[in-house]
Amino acid sequence: MSPSRLAVVCGGSRGIGAAVSHLLAERGCRLAVVSRNEDASRAAVAALPGADHVAFSCDVSQEQEVQRTFESIRRSCGRVTYLVNAAGINRDAVLLRTSSEDMLALLHTNLLGCMLTCRAAMRDMLHMRDAAIVNIGSVVGLKGNAGQCAYSATKAGLAGFTRSLAKEVASRNVRVNLLAPGFIHTDMTAGLSEEQSARSIPLGRFGEPEDVAQAALFLLESPYVTGQVLVVDGGLHLTM
């Protein structure tokens, strides 16, 4: 992987995003780490191997913030080669107890945010003719899950968006793929009983953020893979 490649990781200050950032930095990429909290972005950058990484704060659900952030990235770091969309929130509840505000928050961050960042990065990528995007979805976006109707809908939307964008930009050699993780050790799964939940996972354990990062690296580096949904869940989808 060329050290001149600039990788933007949205949601890169923790969990899966932080693991992806660290692995890409190890592979020689320059990182632009984006999160809502500037201090968290700076702390994540400070922990990365290598130098010249940059921290940015941005709420990806806000169009003007996304535009300003990517303009700043372009001015200070150059053209974007890789984009990883790992920013996301959850608001778990059965549909009857899910407020409209929570539905909109999920849609704006998980789905609209990804669309906005992809559009912002495309200005660079279409001219480079060698770029890649990895969006982070969820296995529940493919299989559904009781108590996660709104969350599942946003992640299912990412699958359709990813496949459609892959078709739009393939002629410019821009590749777009989706990862669909299962139970991964992150803040979002901190309240779950691993012993109980792992019974439904054929591999018998939760995954680590690094497991997803390895899959993201594979998709970013694979020159003939686009429009794909790669499930990283220890076999959970086989039992759902």
Other CB atoms within 10 Å distance of the CB of residue 37: 13
Of these residues, 70, 151, 183, 206, which one is catalytic? 151
C-alpha to C-alpha distances, 200 to 93, 118, 124, 195, 229, nearest whole angstrom: 21, 34, 43, 10, 21
Q: Which of 119, 48, 41 is nearest to 80 (CA)?
A: 119
Task: Give me the count of residues in the chain.
Answer: 240
Our measurement of the distance from residue 200's CA atom to the centroid of its chain's CA atoms, rounded to an integer in Å, reads: 25
Q: Is 151 annotated in the active site?
A: yes
Question: And the tokens for 48?
Answer: 């990365």
Contact 21, 33 (CB under 8 A): yes
Q: What angle do CA 9, 13, 17 make, to 5 degrees?
A: 50
Reduce the DSSP state of residue 210 to 3 states and report it.
Answer: helix
Q: Which residues are catalytic?
A: 151
